[in-house]
Structure 1
C-alpha cells in the first residue's frame, strides 16, 4: 500500500465500514472519502488524525505506511493491547512516584546543606573581622 488513499481504503474495508459510515465518523462528505481513497486529494492533518481514530490505525501508518496495520484479530486483540498499555502506565506511574519522592528528599538535603554552608561562611567571616 504505497499511497494514503490505498491505506484509507484498506483500513476502512478491514473495519467493514462503507464509505458513508466512515464519512459520518470523520465528519466529512462521502465524496471527500472517495476522493481521498482515489488519491485525487490528500486529507489535511486534522482529518488524518480523525481518520486514524475512526479506523483504529496509527497516524504514522496512515501517513507513510509504517508502524502499525489494522488489527484483524478484532476486539480481543485491541483489548489485550489496551491492557498492556494500562499495565505499562501503572508501572511508569509507580516509578515516577518513587523518583518524585527521591527528588524531594534530595532537595531537602541540599537545602539543609546550603543552610549549613551559609552559617559556616558567616562564622568564618565573623572570625576574619575580629
Structure 2
C-alpha cells in the first residue's frame, strides 16, 4: 500500500474514516474546540465527544447545523463523499512499518464496529427475553 493510498484523497472516505473521524477533522480544521462547537450548537461538550467517538449520532437538525458551522456537506459528514476536507498533505515518507500498522488499525476498527453491532443485537434479544419473563 502506498503512502498516497493511506494519506491521500481517501483519508476521510467511508472505508477509512467514521462519522466521528470526519466530524473531529472538520472541527479541528475550523479551529474549534469540542467545547466551542458544543456552545455554538447549544449542546453539551459530552454530546460532541460522543459524536466524535461514534457512540451516538446527532439528530437531523443538529447535523445540518454542524455541517453549516464546519463548512462541509451533510453527505460528506455521513459518507465522506461531497464537499468536505481533503486528507493531510504529506511531505516526507513514512517510517518503515507505519503503513502496515495503519492498515492493521483500519482492520481492527472495522472488526470493532462489527462487534459493536453484534453486541447491540444481542442486547436487544436479551431485553426481549427479559420482557417476556416479566
TM-score where L is the length of structure 1: 0.52
Q: Structure 1: 5+ residue runs without aligned partners? A: 72-130
Contact 1:49 1:59 in 2 (8 A): yes
Aligned residue-pair number? 72
Rounded to whole Å, the distance in 2 between the matches of 1:42 and 1:6 is 12
Q: Which protein, 1 or 2, shows the higher relative CO under an 8 Å CA cutoff with sep ≥ 6?
A: 2
Matches within 5 A, 1:18-33: 18-33=33-48
| Counterpart pick for 2:52 among 29, 34, 37 | 37
Partner residue, 2:70:
55
Q: CA deviation at 1:70?
A: 3.6
User: How much does 1:10 deviate?
Assistant: 0.3
Q: Which portions of structure 1, spanning 4 or more consecutive aligned residues, are displaced by more than 2 angstroms?
A: none
Kindly indicate which of the two structures has a greater share of residues assigned to helix. Answer: 1
The offset of 1:12, in angstroms, is 0.3
* Corresponding position of 2:20: 5
Structure 2: gaps of 5 or more residues: 1-11, 87-134
Residue 69 (structure 1) shift: 1.4
Contact 2:21 2:52 in 1 (8 A): yes
* Larger radius of gyration between Structure 1 and Structure 2: 1
The two structures have a TM-score, normalised by structure 2, of 0.50
